Structure 1
Amino acid sequence: MLALAYIGAIPFAIYPSALGRSLVAIFSAPFMIVWTLEKLRSQELVRVRPFPMALIGLFCGWAALTGFWASTEAPVLSAVLSLMWSAATTVAIADVLSRLWLSALVSLSAGAMLLSTIVLISPQTISGRANLGGIDENLTSFVLSVGAGAGLFLFQAVKSRLGRWIAGAGLLLIGLAVLYTGSRTGVVATGLMAVATALFAVSSGSGRGIRAALALFAALTLIGSLASSYDLMPRRIQQFLGGEADGINDSGRGEISDLFLRTVDRWFIAGVGYSSDAHYLAGTEGIYRNAHGIFWKTWVELGIIGVLILSAIVGAAVISSFQLPSRRAVWLMMITLTCFGLTLGGLSVDAFWLVVSFAIACPSGHSASVYASDRTNFPSTSRRHFGSTREQMPSDSCL
Structure 2
Amino acid sequence: MGGAADLNGSGGLGQEHGTKNPNWLLLGRICGTMRFIYDRLSIFLAALLVVGGTLALFRRVEALDDGSSLLVESGRHLTTPVEAWLAWGCIVFSTVIYFRNNCYGAFLQGTNHVALSRRWESAYGFLSILTSFATLILGGGLLGLVLVTQLWVLLSAWQGHRLARMVFGGRFRAFPPAAFDREIFAFAWSPAWRAGLGAFMSFGLVQISGLLYAQSEDTVAVASYLLGLRLVQTISQISQAPFYSKLPMLSRLWAQQKVGEQVALAQRGMSWAYWSFVIPFILLGLIAPALLDFIGSQTPFPDPTLWGLLGAAFLCERYGAMHLQLYSTTNHIVWHIANGVTGFIFVAVSLWLFPEMGVAALPMGMLIGNLTFYCWYSARLSHCKFALQWPSFDTHAVGWPALCLGIYLLYVFQS
Give the TM-score of the pair, scaled to structure 2.
0.24
Q: Larger helix proportion, structure 1 or 2?
A: 2
Q: Which has the higher contact order (CA 8 A, sep 6+)?
A: 1
Larger radius of gyration: 2
Give the TM-score of the pair, scaled to structure 1.
0.24
